[in-house]
Amino acid sequence: MIPEKLKTALDEHVSAEIGAAYLYLAMSADFESKAFKGFGRWMRVQFQEEMTHALKFVDFMLARGATIVWKDAKAPATTFGTALETFEKTLAHEREVTARIHKLYHLAAAEKDTATQVFLQWFVTEQVEEEARVSEIVDKIRMVSDRPGSVLYLDKEYGKRTA
Ligand code: FEO
């Protein structure tokens, strides 16, 4: 049994991962509508990744015998500005997710739920990778942001991302 307080926090986190997926799907659509097909593709893969994260939480909770209480996922905006602004917002969002994961980990430790702590370790590592991946994109777009041809080159390069 997952301790009640931790179970409620995990319920909320499922909706946070689905909310992240929803956000990146919206960013993908925004990029596509601005002819940034590559960044749109990158965001669509990110959307799929976030859904995978949500499912990992769902499967873990079910394996622990928990009854999941579904929460609302926040509707995203429809436009996110320039490519640089969109990825800056992505990085800010990933930092929020990291903080949430760390908070969950500390709660699992306080509640002495070893299985949840071990489960969350994968996410702690994953968030380090996610932030590094997005941070690199932000840095690269910043470097070339005054040269549209170079931004389009990055769009093409990042469009090669696969799930
Ligand atoms: Fe599921 Fe990007 O954190």
Residues 73-91: pLDDT tens digits? 889 999 999 999 999 999 9
The per-residue pLDDT for 157 is 96
CA of 23 from ligand 1 middle (Å) equals 11
Rg (CA), the chain: 17
Segment 107-131 mean pLDDT: 98
Whether 30 is in the pocket of ligand 1, judged by its Cβ within 6 Å, is no
Q: Which two tokens stand for residue 103?
A: 């908070």
The per-residue pLDDT for 163 is 85
Atom of ligand 1 nearest to the CA of 126: 3
Answer for the pair 154, 31: CB distance below 8 angstroms, yes or no. no
Atom of ligand 1 nearest to the CA of 130: 2
Task: Quote the pTM value.
Answer: 0.95
Atom of ligand 1 nearest to the CA of 50: 1
Segment 60-77 mean pLDDT: 95
pLDDT class of 10 with cuts at 50, 70, 90? very high
Give the C-alpha separation, 115 to 1, whole Å: 10
Question: Which runs of consecutive H residues, i.e. helices, occur in the chain?
Answer: 4-33, 37-63, 83-110, 114-144, 148-158
CA of 95 from ligand 1 middle (Å) equals 9
Q: How far is CA 113 from CA 1, 3, 74, 125, 138, in A?
A: 9, 8, 29, 19, 37
